Amino acid sequence: MNIDRISTRAVLAAGLLSLVAASQVQAAPAKPMADIVDTAVAAGTFKTLAAALQAAGLVDTLKGEGPFTVFAPTDEAFAKLPAGTVDALLKDKKKLTEILTYHVVSGRVMASDVVKMSTAKTVQGGTIAIGTSGGVTVDAARVLKTDIKTSNGVIHVIDTVLMPRQ
């Protein structure tokens, strides 16, 4: 037999074995999507929000089935509040809960839906105003990032803490 013919057969046999082996390997299962709370914590820019959810006793709710849409203020948004406000809120569970639930809308409201709305009813019971002139706004907050999908809803990142109207 010719050496070139043997080499060609060896290469073809090795390739065939590789294909058979590859077809036997199963794809790794997809990692399950995290819920709203775990997604926010993993992002690393919502430490104050996570602490506030814990203080208000809302962690289990936002880890629940949902779906929920959360307009999530960043740590920088909380830092814009007057000095002492966050500490005072962490000690006032009723007021804190009112503020945090004002950031939540029932259902999974994606950005493509938000831009078609002028208002949305919050879990707190109030109504937030939605604007689209010069970028999307929710009350006085600018939406910085949209459609962060979670297992139980969606997060839209905002630059200001929303305060319910009295």
Q: Are 145 and 157 in contact (CB under 8 A)?
A: yes
DSSP string for residues in 5-39: HHHHHHHHHHHHHHHHHHHHSPPPPPPPPP-HHHH
Residue 101 lies in a domain: yes
Q: What is the pLDDT of residue 133?
A: 87
**Residue 26 pLDDT > 80:** no
| Range 44-72 average pLDDT | 95
Looking at the domain assignment, is residue 13 inside a domain? no
Residue 5 lies in a domain: no
What is the Cα–Cα distance from 24 to 73, expressed in whole angstroms? 47
Whole-angstrom distance, CA of residue 17 vs CA of residue 125 = 64
Q: Is 55 a member of any domain?
A: yes
Q: What is the mean pLDDT of residues 89-96?
A: 95
Q: Give me the phi and psi of 163, to 5 degrees please.
A: -115, 125
CB neighbours of 157 closer than 8 A, spacing ≥ 6? Answer: 45, 72, 74, 143, 144, 145, 146, 148
Would residue 102 count as lying in a domain? Answer: yes
> Which amino acid does the sequence have at 80?
K
Whether the predicted pLDDT of 12 surpasses 70: no
Q: What is the CATH number of the domain that holds 52?
A: 2.30.180.10
Is the residue at 82 inside a domain?
Answer: yes
Please give the structure tokens belonging to residue 47. 């430490």
Q: So what's the pLDDT on residue 39?
A: 95
What pLDDT shows up at residue 28?
52
pTM, two decimals, is 0.80
pLDDT per residue over 111-122, tens digit each?
999 889 999 999
Q: Please give the tally of structural domains in the chain.
A: 1
Percent residues over pLDDT 90 in the chain:
75
Rounded Cα–Cα distance for residues 47 and 36 (Å): 13
Q: Is 66 left (phi over 0), alpha (psi -120 to 50) or beta?
A: left
Residue 94, domain extent: 36-158
Q: Give Cα 16 to chain centroid, integer Å.
A: 45
- Domain assignment present for residue 21? The answer is no
Examine the pLDDT at 21 and tell me if it is beyond 80.
no
At residue 30, the pLDDT reads 59
17 found inside a domain? no
